[in-house]
Amino acid sequence: METETTFKVKVRRIGSSLGVLIPKKMIGKKKIREGEEIEIALLKRRKDLIARAFGIAKGAGPFIRENSDRV
């Protein structure tokens, strides 16, 4: 597989399916042509999973340092 390039796109309804449009900038950069077969990797980023991974508790306030003399 070639080096990966990531970009954000919105999923759109196309008939009874869902699809994405490849930005013109990427088409030119990767020299993609109509009818060419390409590989696409999907990565769905969910903000709630990211928040849980860093231990942010629902309703918790910001961190306040109790002792300024400690690092």
39 in a domain, yes or no? no
Domain holding 29, by residue range, is 1-33
Angle at 46 between CA 43 and CA 52, to 5 degrees: 130
In angstroms, rounded to a whole number, what is the distance separating the alpha carbons of residues 4 and 29? Answer: 12
The tokens 């060419």 sit on which residue?
A: 36
21 in a domain, yes or no? yes
pLDDT band with cut points at 50, 70 and 90 for residue 1: very low
List pLDDT tens digits, range 43-68. 877 666 666 666 655 666 677 778 77
Q: Provide the whole-model pTM.
A: 0.53
55 in a domain, yes or no? no
Q: How many domains does the chain have?
A: 1
11 in a domain, yes or no? yes
23 in a domain, yes or no? yes
43 in a domain, yes or no? no
For the chain, what percent of residues have pLDDT higher than 70? Answer: 68
5 in a domain, yes or no? yes
